Structures are given as C-alpha cells and as structure tokens.
C-alpha cells in the first residue's frame, strides 16, 4: 500500500544536466528546451542543480536563473525537486527561500563539502534550510563525492521531522538504502542514486530513482520501473543489463556529463559543454557517440512499443 506522500512523489526523476551557451554561461532558453524535452517522456519530475546539474560549480545567481527557467517551462507538468546545497549555509538558505518563492515542490541538499564537519555541523546546516521554508526536504546522501558518511543516528533525527520526507541515496550500498527505508518508515521516500543498480535499489525498498544517465534514456528507466512494479523481473533484469552496457560506455569518455550532453546535442538539444574542471567531450568522439545514441534509440524503440511481447524485449 502506498501512502499519500509516497504516491505523490514516487517515480523516476531526471537529474538534469546544466545548459550553457557556447561561451559557457547559463542559457535560460536552453534550460527550458531541455526541461521541455523531458516532459511527456513518462518521468515524474526533474532534480535541478544536483551533481549532474553542476550546482556546485555555479554561482547562487546562476542557480536561481536555472531554476526559474525550469519552473517557467514545466511547473505543473513535472515535479520540481531542487538541490540547494552550497558550501556556506547562508547561500543554501538563500537558495531554499528562492526555491519556495519560485514554486519548486521540494528542496534537497548534500552536506557542505571541503571542511571535515562534525555531525552536529551538518545537522545544523540542513536544519537551517529546512526551517527557512515550508517546503518538504530530501536529504542528498552521496558519500563518495562529499566524504560525509550519514550515520543512522543522524538519519533518524532528521527523518523524524515532518518536513523531511525522504533521502536520495547515491551511496552504493543497497543494504544501507534498505536500512534507511526501514528506519524511515512506510511514509518515508527513498530514491535510488546509482543508475547501474536501479533494479537492486527498487528491490531493496526504493520508491523510485533520481539519476543523471536517465537524462539520455528516460524512457528506459520508466520502463524498468514499470517492469519492476508489474513483477516482470526477468524483463527488468534484462533491461537493467542493457542499460548498464550503455552506462559503461558513457563512463569511458573524458567526462560522463560531457558524453551525455553530446548525445543530447545529437538529438537537437544543445546544452553546451560541462563546466571545467569537468572535461569537455569534443568532436573526436562524435562518431562513437552517434553509435551509442543509436544503441539507446534501438533499445528505447523496443520498450516503448506496446504491442511487442515482453520476451522480445529481453532477448
């Protein structure tokens, strides 16, 4: 049985990539075009300004402009979750208030990075954001990039607050994911972070997923989620394997984000290069990316074809 909160937010969220012009500046029109590209793919919503969105590489003003463009384009069609984590608490609070003012649905944040912070400091950092708006809050746990390990006692203190509705679990342990689900309770949302183990995360209790590579194959993750929900586990497993072959190739380019952005460009959705220090992916890779794009499109064609028998999907 799903509770109100779960049914309101469960599902597939694209962690949206940045959209810059050729000079590398935030381009509102490109942000809108990218957001529009996802509306109608079956996803539940967008996660704006997270890792894939390069929020941590942008100024507060740029982050505001990105969110404003997304809200203007798809508010009401897609749920809008916004990452407001910044190194300084005061910037995070400013971004939180801006998110509420704009009409975002949920705020979310990683801990502050660089300084080795105590649990108390991270708790206070998050609490200031939570207290600054009436929006629900989703903890963003990604220890492999932040270096901060979210302990169970801190998780439990956070999760017992009404406004803290979920955790985006980008750590790789599905056991830990399951522990969050168990401790959070029936009404607490858990989102799978590692796209490569979406199915494992779902089987261990995740209510959906938030992922960067969804951005080049949203229909595949929607289909995977559907197969799992319908109990079609063989089909789901086979589709996850196909997806993982694609992700493995994407991870072989100078940067994952650059490769995904290049694939979007091949589809007519220009978003520029990732911002340095994330490496660009240049012309030299065009042919291999075009081939990878064809591979994604071929799998997509099969999963969205309603008349195909499910066993044809997987062979």
Ligand X SMILES: CC(=O)N[C@@H]([C@@H](O)[C@H](O)[C@H](O)CO)[C@@H](O)CC(=O)C(=O)O
The least CB distance from residue 239 to ligand X, in Å, is 15
The least CB distance from residue 163 to ligand X, in Å, is 20
- Of the two residues 157 and 254, which places its CB atom closer to ligand X in the complex? 254
Site string for ligand X, 177-196 (x = CB under 6 A): ----------------xxxx
Residues in 27-66 that interact with ligand X by CB under 6 A: 47, 50-52
Site string for ligand X, 112-151 (x = CB under 6 A): ------------------------------x--x------
The least CB distance from residue 278 to ligand X, in Å, is 11
Q: Which positions ≥6 away from 195 have C-beta within 8 Å?
A: 209, 211, 212, 213, 214, 221, 243, 247
Angstrom distance (rounded) from CA 254 to CA 274: 11
Residue 262 DSSP SS3: helix
Residue 212 DSSP SS3: coil
Helix (H) or strand (E) holding 206: none
The least CB distance from residue 312 to ligand X, in Å, is 27
Residue 11 region by backbone torsions, left for phi larger than 0, else alpha for psi between -120 and 50, else beta: left
Site string for ligand X, 197-216 (x = CB under 6 A): -------------xxxx---
Is 165:158 a contact under the CB 8 Å cutoff? no
Angstrom distance (rounded) from CA 207 to CA 131: 26
Residue closest to ligand X when measured from CB atoms: 50
- 247, 269, 292, 296: residue in contact with ligand X (rule CB under 6 A): 247
Instruction: Spot the catalytic one: 32, 44, 79, 168.
Output: 168
Is residue 228 part of the annotated active site? The answer reads: no
- Of the two residues 188 and 214, which places its CB atom closer to ligand X in the complex? 214
Angstrom distance (rounded) from CA 267 to CA 277: 25
The least CB distance from residue 213 to ligand X, in Å, is 5
Instruction: Spot the catalytic one: 140, 214, 253, 257.
Output: 140
| Size, binding site for ligand X by CB under 6 A | 18
| Residue 139 assigned to a binding site | no
Q: What is the 3-state secondary structure (H, E, C) of 16-78?
A: CCCCECCCCCECHHHHHHHHHHHCCCCCCEEEECCCCCCHHHCCHHHHHHHHHHHHHHHECCE
Tokens 């089909």 correspond to what residue? 235
Q: How far is CA 288 from CA 92, 261, 284, in A?
A: 39, 14, 9
Q: Which residues are annotated as a binding site for pyruvate?
A: 210
Give the residue numbers annotated as catalytic, written as ranges: 140, 168
Give residues in contact with ligand X (CB under 6 A).
15, 47, 50-52, 142, 145, 170, 193-196, 210-213, 247, 256
Q: Which residues are annotated as a binding site?
A: 210
């Amino acid at each position: 049985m799903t509770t109100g909160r779960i049914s309101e937010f469960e599902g597939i969220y694209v962690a949206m990539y940045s959209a810059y012009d050729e000079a590398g500046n935030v381009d509102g029109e490109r942000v809108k075009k990218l957001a529009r590209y996802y509306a109608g793919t079956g996803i539940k919503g967008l996660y704006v300004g997270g890792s894939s969105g390069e929020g941590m590489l942008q100024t507060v003003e740029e982050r505001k402009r990105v969110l404003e463009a997304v809200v203007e384009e798809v508010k009401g069609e897609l749920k809008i979750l916004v990452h407001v984590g910044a190194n300084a608490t005061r910037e995070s609070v400013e971004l939180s208030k801006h998110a509420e003012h704009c009409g975002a649905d949920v705020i979310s944040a990683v801990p502050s990075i660089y300084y080795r912070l105590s649990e108390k400091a991270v708790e206070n950092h998050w609490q200031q954001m939570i207290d600054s708006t009436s929006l629900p809050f989703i903890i963003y746990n990604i220890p492999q990039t932040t270096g901060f390990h979210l302990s169970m006692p801190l998780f439990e203190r956070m999760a017992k607050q009404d406004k803290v509705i979920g955790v985006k679990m980008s750590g790789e342990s599905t056991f830990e994911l399951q522990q969050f689900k168990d401790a959070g309770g029936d009404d607490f949302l858990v989102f799978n972070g590692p796209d490569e183990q979406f199915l494992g995360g779902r089987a261990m209790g995740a209510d959906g997923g938030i992922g960067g590579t969804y951005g080049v194959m949203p229909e595949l993750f929607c289909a995977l989620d559907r197969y799992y929900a319908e109990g079609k586990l063989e089909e789901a497993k086979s589709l996850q394997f196909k997806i993982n072959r694609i992700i493995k190739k994407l991870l072989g380019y100078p940067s994952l984000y650059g490769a995904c952005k290049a694939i979007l460009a091949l589809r007519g959705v220009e978003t520029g290069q990732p911002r340095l220090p994330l490496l660009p992916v240049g012309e030299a890779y065009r042919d291999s990316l075009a081939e990878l794009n064809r591979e994604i499109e071929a799998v997509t064609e099969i999963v969205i074809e309603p008349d195909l028998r499910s066993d044809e999907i997987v062979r």
